A and B are shown apart, each in its own frame.
Chain A
Amino acid sequence: MHIKKHITNKVPLIVLENVSVDFLENNVGIHSVKDFFTIGKRPFKRKTILKGISFIINKGESWAIMGRNGSGKSTLLRTISGIIKPSSGKLTVNGTIAPILALGAGVELELTGFENINLLLSLSGLKQKEIVRLTDEIIDFSELDSNTLQMPVKRYSSGMIARLAFSIALAKNFDILMIDEVLAVGDQGFQGKCIQKINLIKEQGKTIIFVSHAPAEAMKICDKAILIENGNITQSGNSKNVCKHYEALFQS
């Protein structure tokens, strides 16, 4: 049996210490205004999405994040990537993140593929020179021809949008790859290609955080996993074990 060499000196890339995230729950409407004036009920309620989460991700590790819909997985990813600020607790991230957080990952539907490549790479802080260089790589990896890339993205199929978004996110240099269940929409060819690419990224010693609802996929990609229930981490450790717990959620 092949035994993986343990990395003796672990380098923590992401450290969450008791991180909580509050949202404002908004149910503004004519009733809430009436309630506000008659019984003084506030139209906005504070709702805690992540309830004091602590864990450490070291360099080179691959973590799957499992949990029911609405348990706080996406919020956790957005918090780690800096889009949402924690309401309390401490978050430390050492390294750059390539986030693929939604199907389109910020792709603008009215713009063409090329325009989107340019926009998203500019927004991640790259200079025009580097963008031109990376565009070829993106065309290569996404397998979208230049004819397609000159069309507005609204005419793409969801699989093609995923290809574009995925390729853009992977193009620039990063230390941590973050994927929020977006692989499912690509066709088999592209899915295979992505998994291959993810494995390559793992071999390069980069860190992966992967949200998935498919235990088989999560186990294939990730060595470790956490299970989130209601904004708390209830299980963490070996991805096989955690996947068992995840599946048990739906047994009863």
Chain B
Amino acid sequence: MKELLKIYALAKRNIKLRYKNSVIGFFWGFLKPFLYLLVFILIFSTQFSSLGNYVLYVTSGLIIWFYFSNVAGQIIQSIISSADLIKSIKIPPIYFPIAELASELFNLCLMFIVFLFVMYPFGITYSFKLFLFFPAVILFSLFTLGFSLILSGINVFLRDVGILWNTILPAFFYVTPVAYPISLIPLKYQSIVKMNPVYYFIELFRHIVYYPDGPSYKLWTGALISGIVSFMIGYFIFQKLSRYFISCI
């Protein structure tokens, strides 16, 4: 309990720091996916009539994608940017990534509520199925946390990792079927795209908010396994590296 309060304090600090000295502060978080949404609607909405409801399709993908990229981006820098604190207070370094996750999770939940309202005219159906959002988010968060822990641990020693991540992120976005259906990709390359775990999580969410039928057991199992495996590997690597953080920050 005490430890949770510490993580809460760090998460609160993150939110405060991010929007310090900005006027609309918190709402910047909404603006980014919204702008992307506008662009995609402008370009693609008539292209993919096969998708039926393009706005809902893109928005559900964008929310998940931006959650992923924000969490990863914040966590990768989380140790370096808190160097002073890590050097002067006894606190397990892993609290910093977890606090970043927590503050992004808070953003995501707000975003989801707004999404539910805004998507009403775009044909979202309200049902109990929407509550599956929460277990799905937990699994996706575990996956993202684990993945980002690996990068953030290595980034302390090799800053190239953070730079590399920012460089490949846009490319990663376009090879993930966020704004287009996977059928757009030539059949022989589809198997490559399908190796991307983020794709499955986006599908999982789309089955909750977009497709009429809920997620299959196969999707749930995949999400469960990749969430737990990613978290365990990330946790293990991060803890191994963390004893040397002090010497490199």
Contacts and interface: CB of A to CB of B under 8 A. Distances in A.
Contacts, number: 81
B87 A104 contact: no
B13 interface: yes
A23 to B, nearest CB: 4
A81 interface: yes
A123 B91 CA distance: 8
A106 B247 contact: no
A83 B8 CA distance: 20
A45 to B, nearest CB: 10
Contacts of A106: 84-85, 87-89
Nearest to A100: B88
B138 to A, nearest CB: 25
Interface in A70-88: 78, 81-85
Cβ-closest 5 pairs across A and B: A122-B9, A23-B247, A106-B88, A82-B90, A24-B244
A54 interface: no
Interface string B6-37: 10111011001100100000000000000000
How big is chain B's contact interface, by range? Answer: 20 to 34
A237 B158 CA distance: 43
A47 B243 CA distance: 14
A26 B247 contact: yes
B218 interface: no
Contacts of A26: 157, 247-248
Contacts of B113: none
B16 A23 contact: no
A125 B6 contact: yes
B89 to A, nearest CB: 5
B247 A83 contact: no
A24 B157 contact: yes
Contacts of A127: 5
